[in-house]
């Protein structure tokens, strides 16, 4: 929901999807409650209708991403679909990366969506930072994808949010490393009570 808030604050037309329209409405209303002074507009509907957007961000828990994408494959055909899920498991007080089929969530989603163009992005932006519109962001967002239109449109979406700099990383073969590194960041944030993200130097 933090990403939807940031996009809306950047005046991007955004619709939140859900398995039920009621839950979409409830989630959006809850998210907007804190920001009534900002006049944000966020649409809310079922996933199948939200999949009609020009660009679609798949933002489910990692182990629901492929099933959700598969259900929506026809509606997503020809579109850029952004994968942001990280395959992580909490073991004790540590987040540990898992290796999904094909090496990453993003590659699994691309395999399920042969007619779509998958871009991977947003993995390292802390949820609390995204959701706090009072806090400026200053983060790099690594973007990868196998198809040029996926990378270009995903980077344009990232770049529409003030404080986020899209950085092209390469093909989806890099997505596994990007997703796994989120576990490192989460553990750093837990240990240091921080909201660290990434900012590359020398670029």
Q: What are the b/e assignments for 167-202, b being 16+ CB within 10 Å?
A: bebeebebbbebbbbbbebbeebeeeeebebbeeee
Q: Which stretch binds ligand NAP (CB under 6 A): 117-125, 161-169, 170-178, 183-191?
A: 117-125
Which of 28, 42, 59, 172 binds ligand NAP (CB under 6 A)? It is 59
Q: Which of residues 119-138 bind ligand NAP (CB under 6 A)?
A: 122-123, 125, 127, 130
Which of 31, 45, 62, 186 binds ligand NAP (CB under 6 A)? It is 62
Start-end of H helices in 83-174: 105-112, 127-131, 148-159
Nearer to ligand NAP, 65 or 202 (CB): 65
Which of 22, 30, 38, 64 binds ligand NAP (CB under 6 A)? It is 64
Which of 86, 108, 110, 116 binds ligand NAP (CB under 6 A)? It is 86
Element housing 181 (H / E): helix 175-192
Residue 60 in contact with ligand NAP, rule: CB under 6 A:
yes
Nearer to ligand NAP, 74 or 148 (CB): 74
The tokens for 101 are: 């089929």
Residue 101 in contact with ligand NAP, rule: CB under 6 A:
no
Q: Work out the number of other CB atoms within 10 angstroms of the CB of residue 203.
A: 7
Residue 143 in contact with ligand NAP, rule: CB under 6 A:
no
How near is the Cβ of 23 to ligand NAP at its closest, in Å?
Answer: 4
Q: CA dihedral defined by 175, 178, 183, 184, rounded to 10 degrees? A: 160
Nearer to ligand NAP, 148 or 200 (CB): 200
d(CA 95, CA 190): 10
Residues 6+ apart with CB under 8 A from 119: 80, 81, 82, 83, 143, 144, 145, 150, 151, 153, 154, 155
Nearer to ligand NAP, 42 or 125 (CB): 125
Q: Residue numbers of the site for ligand NAP (CB under 6 A)? A: 2, 18-19, 23, 59-62, 64, 68, 84-86, 122-123, 125, 127, 130
């Amino acid at each position: 929901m933090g990403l939807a808030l940031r996009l809306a604050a950047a005046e991007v037309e955004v619709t939140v999807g859900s398995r039920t329209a009621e839950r979409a409405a409830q989630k959006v209303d809850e998210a907007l409650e804190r920001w009534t002074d900002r006049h944000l507009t966020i649409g809310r509907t079922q996933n199948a209708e939200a999949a009609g957007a020009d660009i679609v961000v798949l933002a489910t828990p990692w182990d629901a991403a492929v099933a959700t994408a598969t259900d929506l494959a026809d509606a997503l055909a020809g579109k850029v679909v952004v994968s942001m899920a990280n395959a992580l498991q909490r073991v004790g007080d540590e987040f540990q990366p898992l290796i999904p089929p094909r090496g990453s969530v993003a590659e699994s989603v691309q395999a399920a969506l042969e007619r779509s163009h998958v871009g991977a992005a947003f993995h390292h932006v802390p949820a609390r930072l995204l959701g706090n519109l009072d806090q400026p962001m200053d983060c790099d967002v690594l973007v990868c994808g196998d198809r040029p239109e996926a990378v270009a449109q995903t980077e344009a979406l990232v770049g529409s949010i003030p404080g986020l700099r899209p950085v092209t990383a390469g093909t989806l073969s890099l997505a596994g490393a990007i997703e796994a590194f989120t576990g490192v960041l989460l553990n750093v944030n837990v240990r240091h009570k921080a909201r660290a993200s990434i900012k590359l130097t020398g670029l």
